[in-house]
Structure 1
Amino acid sequence: MKKPHSLLQQIAGVMALAGLLCSALLLSWNGLARTNFFYPLWHHTLEIEAHIQEYAPQNYYNREDFAQTTSLEHQRLFALIVHGIHGRTDMAAIEYQDSKATPLNTLLRPEEVGHLEDVATIVQKLRRAGVIVLVVTVGGLCWLRYCGGNLPRPKNVLLGIAGGSGALTVAVLVLGPVRVFYQLHEWFFPPDNPWFFYYQESLMTTLMKAPDIFGAIAVLWALSALLLFIFFYAVVWHWLSGKRNRA
């Protein structure tokens, strides 16, 4: 039978591991946000320029001239939206410009601004929660080092990552990425606030080629967070092991 103190250390180790994962997700998100989630890469890879040329002229709200905008302007607009959901831009005031930097019209309709404000609310709540988790995790790791505990063994962690990633991937493929995307929106956004916009009615959706770009960003976020988590784990494992070996 495990000693109570040893069992407590194991529980703390698992909780610290979860905290490291949450911290990796938070820091990875912040890092990607500073790069605007590599929008220029997705603009090229997802052929967003051609997408805009196809759907902007069909816009229902007299914004057909969005087709006159350049790829650099698309990058600027996406960056402003990213800044907006992080509380640094008045999204209702965003205007798109032609190649001569002449303002043409506002980018977002009130319904779209409302949706992005809902997104901003979720982002802010998750970031605040992430900071709390980060602080608690650091405290837990300091306690583990003091009492001679450690994180779960590398083999178990790798098996858990492989199993969890595989199960999640299979679930998304079986349910369908679009269905998962819609379901997440229904769970996280107020039911009375619109979040679904056709390309013909939303320059925001056209600019992003949603939901395609969100799938690409999700994969990038997951991979970057995983690499950061592995780095954190390796550093903490050796840090905790070093104290135990010296003891």
Structure 2
Amino acid sequence: MKKAINPLVWANVCWSLSLWLLCLTAVWIALAQQSFFYEQWYQLLDIDKTINEYAPLNRFERENFVETNSEEHARLFTAITQAVHQQGNGLSAIEYSASDGKVVTLLTKDEVIHLQDVANLIATATIVMKVVAMIFIFSSLLMRYKEIAITPLKLQWVYAGGLMAVLLVLSLAVGVESLFYWLHTIVFPDNHQWFFYYEDSLMSTLMQAPNIFLPIGVVWIIGVFCLWSIAVVMSRRI
């Protein structure tokens, strides 16, 4: 007969996992406040060259986007970031100004629908994280009441590192780009467009999607590991 796992062990597991998820959320919020360092990735990825190449080919009569400058590009990215974190409010109203003074709507209908889906996903994640926060508080109180020691950081690093290694191997085996597209089919409605060619989308051109998501993801994960490690060390000292 298999021996049941000690409930106190589950408390430690719930504490560690919920802390990890809360750190994911906290670092995401911090990055969003900084527009995910768009201006840095703009220079690193030469996004201006992508805009100069594809904006004149835009099939929705937005060829004059090529006349906008880097400051305008950063402003537009920030506007999109803010909108998807505010239930999608204002997406349709995002506009850019061409050199001739003409004001043009940035996003097409399909782009607005896609970004609204992103906003809905973020809103759902926010609700889930509130539940996770309650689990974290409950497990913390239980561990304090039962005097359960938090798993040492080094051991947690082994577990987390092992999990990350497995995920990395699987991602490389499947293909990062294929995995990225597959996840889109899972989280977004079937009848909603989520793939956009640069010639059809200033949104994709502005972000050099999906390239920009790689450095953002790397910074996100590094930030999470740092914050999570600090939180574990501080919690063990309390």
TM class by shorter chain equals over 0.9
1:90 aligns with 2:97: no
2:144 & 2:137 partners in 1: Cα distance? 11
Give the number of aligned pairs: 235
Whether the 8 Å CA contact 2:111–2:203 is kept in 1: the answer is yes
1:89 deviates by 4.0
Q: How does 1:14-25 map to 2 (within 5 A)?
A: 14-25=13-24
For residue 47 of structure 2, what is the amino acid of its counterpart?
Answer: I
Q: Percent identity?
A: 34
- Quote the residue 1:245 is aligned against: none
1:131 deviates by 2.0
Q: How does 1:78-157 map to 2 (within 5 A)?
A: 78-87=77-86, 89-98=89-98, 102-157=101-156
2:99 & 2:23 partners in 1: Cα distance? 39
Q: How does 1:1-247 map to 2 (within 5 A)?
A: 7-87=6-86, 89-98=89-98, 102-239=101-238
Distance verdict in 2 for CA 1:25–1:103, change over 3 Å: farther
Structure 1 window deviating more from structure 2 (119-128 vs 215-224): it is: 215-224
Match of 1:72, SS state, is: helix
1:176 deviates by 1.6
CA offsets 1:34-90 (integer angstroms, 9 cap, x no match): 001000011001110011000000101111000001001000000000011011741
**TM-score, normalising length: structure 2:** 0.94
CA offsets 1:88-119 (integer angstroms, 9 cap, x no match): 7411111012368x343110000000000000
1:223 deviates by 1.1
Whether the 8 Å CA contact 2:15–2:139 is kept in 1: the answer is yes
Structure 1 window deviating more from structure 2 (194-203 vs 210-219): it is: 210-219
Which consecutive unaligned segments of at least 5 residues does structure 1 have? Answer: 240-247
For residue 13 of structure 2, what is the amino acid of its counterpart?
Answer: V
For residue 234 of structure 1, what is the amino acid of its counterpart?
Answer: V
For residue 158 of structure 2, what is the amino acid of its counterpart?
Answer: L
For residue 236 of structure 2, what is the amino acid of its counterpart?
Answer: W
For residue 210 of structure 2, what is the amino acid of its counterpart?
Answer: P
1:120 & 1:34 partners in 2: Cα distance? 16
For residue 57 of structure 2, what is the amino acid of its counterpart?
Answer: Q
- Quote the residue 1:242 is aligned against: none
Superposition misfits of 4+ residues, deviation over 3 angstroms: none
Match of 1:210, SS state, is: coil
For residue 151 of structure 2, what is the amino acid of its counterpart?
Answer: P
2:60 & 2:7 partners in 1: Cα distance? 61
Whether the 8 Å CA contact 1:86–1:124 is kept in 2: the answer is yes
Whether the 8 Å CA contact 2:27–2:220 is kept in 1: the answer is yes
1:229 deviates by 0.9
Match of 2:96, SS state, is: strand
Match of 2:6, SS state, is: helix
Whether the 8 Å CA contact 1:84–1:90 is kept in 2: the answer is yes
For residue 159 of structure 1, what is the amino acid of its counterpart?
Answer: V
Whether the 8 Å CA contact 2:14–2:135 is kept in 1: the answer is no
For residue 180 of structure 2, what is the amino acid of its counterpart?
Answer: F
**TM-score, normalising length: structure 1:** 0.90
Match of 2:193, SS state, is: coil
Match of 1:212, SS state, is: coil
CA offsets 1:196-219 (integer angstroms, 9 cap, x no match): 110000000000000001122111
